[in-house]
Structure 1
Amino acid sequence: MGGESFDPPPFSTEDESSLTPKFPLASITSSVFSGNEEGWSHKSENFSVLNAESGLNFGGFQDECPRLSLISEATERQRVKVYTEVLRSYEELRPRIDRLEEAKSRLLSYTPGAWAEKIDVMDLSEYDVPNTTLLLLIGPKGSGKSSLINKISRVLENDIIVSGRAQVSWNSSKEEGTYFLHEYVIPRGSGSFCLYDTRSLSDDSSENLKMLQRWMTKGVCHGELVKRKSDGEDLKARLKCKARRSRSSSQFREINFVIFVVNGLSVLESMDSVDGKKKEYSQMIATNFNNPLLSFKDDKPIVVITHGDLLSLSDRVRIRVYLGELLGVPPKGQIFDIPESNDSATDLAIVDMLIYCLERADRNLPPKNLFVGEVPSLRCMLLCIVLAMVVVFQVHRFYTHQPRAPTAPSPMQVDWYRIRHLWLG
């Protein structure tokens, strides 16, 4: 790393509607580390400035042990690098806004499995390609799943005043929300991919485990009621009443990828709070996100942060870096910040997020079911042979153990019976 300097470009004041006001980390970062021929020169006094501006803790270099000091310095230097890369990702959206329509066209022309061959040179004849790629949205209460679906629908349908398709809860503190699985085909009338809105995660990890296991192994069904043992009696009665007036589809769809939605405000509160109850929010996110059922091979779900429009850019960057460390995913490439804003930068972030999901869905297509198909497979033929042998064995056993019917006596036996009858007379 000797001789390296990292000076992110300053934020321009143009198009301030797409991003929050100018953030001072660019000038601060360049003053924290300066590169020269002998290596990195450390200016510890600048860390207090960076801590105050960014909210991150870039201190800890006053250790008495020189080795620990060097390790700590390298760790903090890496964190500064990650923090700056995430910050730069917001600026990188600006020059790409002109290509927004091109990215949307690519997304709208998508068909299931179309990107698989381009990614991994896959032979689609060996894989079970769905008719519609299904993206499942999960997240804690009040995370903004329904609002995100409405934003995605608006962006891809080119109608800024389009009515919200998904019902949004006005007050997340009340016992209301999404209780029935709902399928939203994006865009309307298309069969390329769909989003599934789900009930919020429970505070009980065991209930979440059962719910996610059922969805990821058996699939999801439009209109299905999601019930829990922990639901109160009043809620159960209301859900029972709602279920009578609703009708669920009989078609179960297999999930192809997962979108994990979190509320940026709640994450920030959990990060900075000393209250153990509020810190449970981050632990709940980590526990459910790291459920292996949600991963497709090595691809973990993506994370979408909502309500960023209510936060400063500094806090939005902090949240992405924090979640990256908490969940073990790259904050720049796999954590998407999608605020409640109607601007080109947000639209581009939505399109990037969907392209990422569909590429992973195509890359992780399941192999074909060997028991289904027009041409019987070897395993199917073997199964038929085994079943035929079992039938033959049962038939043979049935007739072998049947009692024999009495037969007519032979002529010799008839004569003997007559002689015996006359003799004994």
Structure 2
Amino acid sequence: MKSYDDDDISHVRFVNVQEIKEEILRYKPGSFLEEAGGLQRSDYDIPKTTTLLLIGPRGSGKSSLVNKISRFLEHDEFASERAQVSYNLSGDGTHFLHEYMIPKGSTSFSVFDTRSLSEDSSENFKLLRNWMTKGVQHGRMVMRNSDSPTVKTIMKNKARHTLHSSSKKRMVNFVIFVVDGVSVLKAMTDEDSTQYTKTVSKAFNYPYLSFKDDKPVVVITHGDELAPADRVLVRIHLGELLGISPVTQIFDIPDNNDVPTDTAIVKMLRHSLEHADRNLPLKKDSPVTMIVTIALIVVIVVLLLLKLTNKGVAGRQSHIHRDWAKIRHIW
């Protein structure tokens, strides 16, 4: 509650926001790498662009979050919206993957806006696994088996104007899970509305979204439509539901232009970029990777030799003649 209504430390918080904001604007992929375990920066496969993937149910505010991040880091509150926002659930929503370089014109990191999750977990898992293992590509059409023939026809007609085949495919480095605070509060108070939080929980805990022990960060949107006490309850509920800290891993980013909102944006971005760097893969030809590969090869060869040796011994034993009648007294 203190973070929502305390004005006494607003100046200190503003100074911290500016410092972290400048740090993010100076960010380059690998900036937060830690040389632990005897590994050096040269051992890691550092991408040209760090890729953050936005995931969330329909109406959660993913596109609005892109616009808010972009405006805040580009010092332009009057800039036009970069991401198309659907202001009602009857709209088309996002059907194509969109990459937004943050800030505009930079190559340091990007945010990918994606098609919303459905209530069918199996369809969600199929999409998420594909994005996390094969990468994401700007302009790529996202179609589900459950889409109606009309929707599929409309999407294919729109796809004629995209150039996804020539865009660069990027591997996802970290995930930002976007959730509508109003829908979460409704699910907390109305048993008939719990499908929303069930969808969120199942998708969030899908193993492919985590990097080792690092789970995605969560952004709560539309908090400006809730009372401060309800916003706190939503954060606590999501923390318990998803098994993460509501203080350090859940960020309340409403449609406001104030210091607390700016603070949440920079902290969320710094957390995401820091953990993206922390979990960068090793180069395939790095010394550590080569040692592990050689060790595996040696183990496989030894196992094969042992197997062949045992077969040879068994084969020789099978050709030994035994006169069981003469040695029956041994029985």
The aligned runs of 1:214-253 (5 Å cut-off) are: 214-248=130-164, 249-253=166-170
- 1:179 matched to which residue of 2? 95
- 2:275 matched to which residue of 1? 360
- Alpha-carbon deviation of 1:170? 1.8
Aligned mates of 2:75, 2:149 — CA distance in 1? 44
- 1:256 matched to which residue of 2? 173
Aligned mates of 1:97, 1:360 — CA distance in 2? 24
1:118/1:368 CA distance change after superposition, 3 Å: closer
- Alpha-carbon deviation of 1:99? 2.6
**Kept after mapping to 2: 8 A contact 1:119/1:363:** no
- Alpha-carbon deviation of 1:217? 0.4
Moved more, 174-183 or 151-160: 174-183
1:317/1:120 CA distance change after superposition, 3 Å: farther
User: Residue type matched to 1:299 in 2?
Assistant: D
TM-score, normalised to structure 2, is 0.83
Aligned mates of 1:119, 1:169 — CA distance in 2? 44
User: Residue type matched to 1:200 in 2?
Assistant: S
1:213/1:128 CA distance change after superposition, 3 Å: same
Aligned mates of 2:87, 2:252 — CA distance in 1? 22
Aligned mates of 2:81, 2:38 — CA distance in 1? 39
- 2:2 matched to which residue of 1? 88
2:247 to 323, 332, 350: 332
User: Residue type matched to 1:225 in 2?
Assistant: M
Aligned mates of 2:27, 2:95 — CA distance in 1? 30
Return the structure number with greater relative CO, CA threshold 8 A, min gap 6: 2
- 1:190 matched to which residue of 2? 106
Aligned mates of 1:103, 1:332 — CA distance in 2? 18
Q: Would you say 1:321 and 2:236 are equivalent positions?
A: yes
- 2:51 matched to which residue of 1? 134
Aligned mates of 2:250, 2:69 — CA distance in 1? 17
**Partner SS, residue 178 of structure 2:** strand
- 2:301 matched to which residue of 1? none
Aligned mates of 1:89, 1:256 — CA distance in 2? 30
**Kept after mapping to 2: 8 A contact 1:116/1:122:** no
The aligned runs of 1:379-418 (5 Å cut-off) are: none
User: Residue type matched to 1:304 in 2?
Assistant: V
1:259/1:120 CA distance change after superposition, 3 Å: farther
CA RMSD between the two structures: 2.3
- Alpha-carbon deviation of 1:312? 0.5
The gaps in structure 1 that reach 5 residues or longer are 1-86, 384-425
- 1:403 matched to which residue of 2? none
The aligned runs of 1:191-210 (5 Å cut-off) are: 191-210=107-126
Number of equivalent positions: 290
1:255-285 Cα offsets, whole Å, 9 max, x none, are 000000000110111110032xx11111110
Aligned mates of 1:123, 1:270 — CA distance in 2? 47
Aligned mates of 1:214, 1:89 — CA distance in 2? 38
Aligned mates of 2:203, 2:13 — CA distance in 1? 34
User: Residue type matched to 2:59 in 1?
Assistant: G
1:158 to 75, 87, 94: 75
**Partner SS, residue 141 of structure 1:** coil
1:380-415 Cα offsets, whole Å, 9 max, x none, are 9x99xxxxxxxxxxxxxxxxxxxxxxxxxxxxxxxx
**Kept after mapping to 1: 8 A contact 2:174/2:216:** yes
1:121/1:351 CA distance change after superposition, 3 Å: farther
**Kept after mapping to 1: 8 A contact 2:3/2:260:** no
- Alpha-carbon deviation of 1:101? 1.7
Q: Would you say 1:168 and 2:85 are equivalent positions?
A: yes
- Alpha-carbon deviation of 1:117? 3.0
**Partner SS, residue 34 of structure 2:** helix
The gaps in structure 2 that reach 5 residues or longer are 298-331
Identity %: 55
- Alpha-carbon deviation of 1:115? 1.2
Query: Which structure is larger by alpha-carbon Rg, 1 or 2?
Result: 1
